[in-house]
A and B are shown apart, each in its own frame.
Chain A
Amino acid sequence: MLVMPAKTSAKRRLPKPKIFHFGDLEYKWYPPGYRGGSIPTSELKKAVRAALSERNSAPKKA
């Protein structure tokens, strides 16, 4: 049976730029919603929540 790659991988979801050529120059148009960046959103979410819980659990100054 042919195994297809998972459709939900982050790489697949990232839209690709459209490329136009004007003479020798290449013009790239990035579609709306293009996010880029190197850190997956799920990791960013975890990091933010970890930081907030650390702040909330820290003993408060008198």
Chain B
Amino acid sequence: MSARTPPDYGRNVFINCPFDDDYLPVFRAITFTVTLCGFQARCALEVQDAGEVRLLKILRLVRESRLGIHDISRTELDRENCLPRFNMPFELGICVGATHFGGRIHAQKRTLILDVERYRYQKFLSDIAGQDIKSHRNDPRMAISVTRDWLNECQPFKALPGGRDVSRQYDRFCKDLPAMLKSIRLHESAISFLDWRRLVEQWLKEPEA
């Protein structure tokens, strides 16, 4: 890895999570929290570029992000081929490797590992035993709370709003969302990750929000 600090390295939060519809409410709540707390959410969905090899995209995101949120909750077997998905634990492994072997800059990386239950991972990923895993129970409010608390620990420079306050703001955002989508003629199911992040950023910029 390069010795130069990538731009926005300290602000970037790499979100490594499932991209299915069941997980979407938690994913959107995490993205909202990261943005509200003054960080920049990054994930593999941000560049829809078929020309870029997926693994290189992941490596680039890991390299450019000091913080990483890794959700290893998706352990169910795939409905079609009855196999589990290994992408999330694999990408977590890349981050852990970068932290240990990536030199001074990447040694600053901080990681939040999420699962649906706190100690369930010991049955399928025992190599990370001893790490502090947080649970969200598939509840966006819990995801907001653990993400906010972790971000607060990761930066000593400013006090972040409390978890309840972030949840309240998220509720307000969700209430405003249908009118925003109507205005840009977009169905909720068609919002991309980037558009979601930019909608949140724009909404937060408004003093009345």
Chain B, 36-68, CB within 8 A of any chain A CB: 46-47, 49, 51-53, 56, 60
A1 to B205: give the CA distance in the assembly, Å.
43
Q: B79-92: contact bitstring with A at CB < 8 Å (1 yes, 0 no)? A: 00000000000000
**Do A36 and B47 touch across chains, with their CB atoms under 8 A apart?**
yes
- Residues of chain A within 8 A (CB-CB) of B199 are 44, 47-48
- Interface size band for B: 20 to 34
Cα A35 to Cα B56 in complex, Å, equals 19
Supposing A28-B49, A49-B206 touch, asked if A35 and B183 sit within 8 A by C-beta, the answer is no
Count A interface residues, CB 8 Å. 26
B164 within 8 A of A: no
Q: A47-B183, A48-B209, A49-B206 are in contact. Are A32 and B176 (CB under 8 A)?
A: no
Q: Top 8 A-B pairs ranked by shortest CB distance?
A: A51-B179, A32-B7, A47-B183, A37-B194, A51-B176, A47-B180, A51-B180, A50-B183
